[in-house]
Amino acid sequence: MNANPGTGSPLGEFLTTRRSMLTPAAAGLPDYGDRRRVPGLRREEVAQLAGVSVAYYIRLEQGASLNASPQVLDALAQALSLDETERRHLHTLSGEGRQRARRRRLPAESVTAAARQLMDAFGEAPAILLGRRSDVLAWNRCGHALFAGHLDPASPSRSATRPNTARLVFLDPHTRELYGTDWPRKARDAVGKLRAAVGEYPDDPHLASLIGELTMGSPEFAGLWAEHRVRAWDLAEYAMNHPLVGTMRVLQHSMTVPAMTGVRLVVVTAPPESSSQAALQLLTHFAHSDVAVPEGATAGIEH
């Protein structure tokens, strides 16, 4: 799963990439203009900012030292101007984090009765259960209608046919149209979440296969993957252009599911009494209706 084998380790790849993206001015260092031979900061500058020796920092980038202390990792995070999500990812990629991940036996992904009850508790709000690789483990009727009404509603119940949200974002034309002008941001978020998953589950062969498939199938994915950006599962706002109910602006809330490793529940809401909420309510009607709606039709809603 290493997009740049020359660095020797995911930790080295992450440090190298983040260093190349940080300008001297942003780090409070002098910029020597044309005399700079590398993009971003030099290794010596990162080591200076973090208070470690240059030789030690080089070993970290080369993958020759994978047991940096939490204090050193925090110093590197500060030197590289990492946000909180990136800082946690840096710790996960360290030797201690990766050893914990290797020792952990990953359970088979399935939907427990408790998880389904949690999803059902959100009523008619579109909701989906996602596994650690962003596979759709389950969805309610409205979740299916919103995210993938063109797919078999029973597909998440079979491991061989489970939709994967990252695969949909990059390889499915319907999903690209669904996010419209917000697709580039959705794409960056999808890649960032997969990056975090690789750090958490470095030895998951199915995750490695997914990364390979997307890298080969989408130049856009390959370019974003090389940036080594990391995204947290939290709250995101997107404009969605649904073929049945038109354009709406929604919030996608992501939350962990208790007692299920890496499983998250994503619930979609819209502001009360807004046109977006009206669109979601109309979508709910379609989701529970036995009346067939012509493919590609868009209901008339004022926005």
pLDDT in tens, 120-163: 999 999 999 999 999 999 999 999 999 999 999 999 998 889 99
Contacts of 99 (CB under 8 A, 6+ apart): none
Question: Residue 59: its pLDDT value, please?
Answer: 85
Question: Residue 3: its pLDDT value, please?
Answer: 40
Give span(s): CATH 1.10.260.40, the chain. Answer: 5-103
DSSP letter at 81 equals: T
- Residue 294 confidence (pLDDT) above 50: no
Rounded to an integer, what distance in angstroms lies between the CA atom of residue 52 and that of residue 88?
20
Contacts of 10 (CB under 8 A, 6+ apart): 1, 2, 93, 98, 198, 199, 202
The CATH class, in words, for 5-103 is mainly alpha
> E-assigned strands of 31-142?
127-130, 136-139
Give span(s): CATH 3.30.450.180, the chain. Answer: 113-288
- Say which CATH architecture domain 113-288 belongs to: 2-Layer Sandwich (3.30)
Question: Residue 104: its pLDDT value, please?
Answer: 60
- pLDDT tier at 253, thresholds 50, 70, 90: very high
**Is this prediction's pTM over 0.85?**
no
